[in-house]
Chain A
């Protein structure tokens, strides 16, 4: 079946540090890939997405590139801020048939200190 594996957290960084959160997936075919962010006490917000190989999704300084050869979609940001502290979820949606659901990783808690 389809699955998503994220790097275990928590991740603690200082402000302006470089962020990488690793995400790899298993799926039949070529799924669409997503990063969602969950701030404390809130629901999930879509951060960025990519729908085909070599696509780069980007938003608010975050980037992730769909790598088919390594089945990866790592999240990066060049300079994190305290306001980026949240839980980040990598997710996929398989293509075709009756596949409408999102499959999520376990999430990675990011804490950014001033």
Chain B
């Protein structure tokens, strides 16, 4: 079992650009959540997808959007990047109550 896989592992973007991060859930998991972890902070919930719909959303602006595909994989899109968007982006998949996290994508905005 490959677990939760995220791509890319590292990414550097310029302010104003757009970025897409990808996540493949653990086998058998139908729910995907995205979190932003700033340096030295705990992860902050962005949103969760279930059955290809956004089921819950955290306090993030509309620049953050997502998608879930029929195979349960997911994308996180961030438009009009700001310096403050630099962070580790974590994907978590679940089936039931326990969430399994990927290793994350380190996004640097310059």
Q: Which residues of A contact B (CB under 8 A)?
A: 4, 32, 36, 41-46, 49, 51, 89, 91, 93, 98-107
Contact = CB atoms under 8 A, between A and B. Distances in A.
A100 B48 contact: yes
The 8 tightest CB contacts between A and B, nearest first, are A104-B42, A101-B45, A43-B101, A44-B101, A43-B103, A100-B56, A106-B42, A104-B43
B58 interface: yes
Interface of B: 4, 31, 33, 35, 40-45, 48, 55-56, 58, 90, 92, 97-104
15 contacts: A4-B42, A32-B97, A42-B103, A43-B90, A43-B102, A43-B104, A46-B99, A49-B98, A98-B55, A99-B56, A101-B48, A104-B42, A106-B40, A106-B42, A107-B40
Contacts of A93: 97
Contacts of B41: 106-107
A97 B90 CA distance: 24
A103 B45 contact: yes
A102 B48 CA distance: 11
A103 B56 CA distance: 13
The binding surface of chain B is classed by DSSP as strand
Nearest to B6: A43
A89 B42 contact: yes
A103 B92 CA distance: 13
Given A44-B43, A44-B92, A102-B35, 13 more contacts: A4-B42, A32-B97, A43-B102, A43-B103, A46-B99, A51-B97, A93-B97, A100-B33, A101-B33, A101-B48, A101-B58, A103-B45, A107-B40
